Amino acid sequence: MARWEPNAQQRLQQAAGALFAERGYADVTVADIAERAGLTKRTFFNHFPDKREVLFADAAAFEAHVLKHLAAADPALAPLDAAVEALAGAALSDLAKYGEYAATRRELIASSTELQERDLIKTAALTAAIAAGLLEREAPPRTAAFASKAAVAVFVAACDDWIDSPTANLTTLMYQELAELRHAVCGA
């Protein structure tokens, strides 16, 4: 085995995804993933702290893209609209590549309490980052907290709809979910 292998992280993610789909999350070890990728366990741990993180490896990059879009959003937008626009912009560029794997990933997370816990932690971190970004846009603290939570709820609902209908436009789904949220809250 070569000392350095190109695209190791991507290979590990692909191997893990295939193995999780074949056997389920609980029945796959780090050694299994490394072997399937043609790499060592040590290489695995150079890229991921644990096997759970394989499913969430791009969360930090996604969060950074959301914050970049939020900072660039029209200052006249209300906090909720700015947050949804930022999530939609980041989703458009970051999530399209996961279309085929998204349903499998959702099923894997639903099948494991430890993955559900990790998903909640990542979602909470994204929500907090958006709230901080809204504070930088001078939203009042309570408004920033509410808007970030609502925007992430819109995003999660739209992603679920997109997974169920992969040919749908995720951005369109986000704005449909936002309209439904507004109707639920305002009734009009």
Which alpha helices (DSSP H) does 38-140 contain, by range? 41-47, 59-72, 79-94, 99-111, 113-136
**pTM, whole model, 2 decimals?**
0.88
> Which pair of tokens denotes residue 123?
């979602």
Read out DSSP for 138-158? T--HHHHHHHHHHHHHHHHHH
Cα–Cα dist 96/63, whole Å: 16
pLDDT of residue 96: 67
Cα–Cα dist 187/181, whole Å: 9
Domain spans in the chain, listed from the N-terminal domain onward? 8-54, 58-186
Q: Do domains 8-54 and 58-186 have the same CATH topology?
A: no
pLDDT of residue 1: 46
Residues with pLDDT less than 70, the chain: 1-5, 96-97, 99, 188
* CATH code 1.10.357.10 for 58-186: yes
pLDDT of residue 5: 61
**Assigned CATH topology for domain 8-54:** Arc Repressor Mutant, subunit A (1.10.10)
Show Cβ contacts of residue 61 under 8 Å, excluding neighbours closer than 6 positions. 94
pLDDT of residue 124: 97
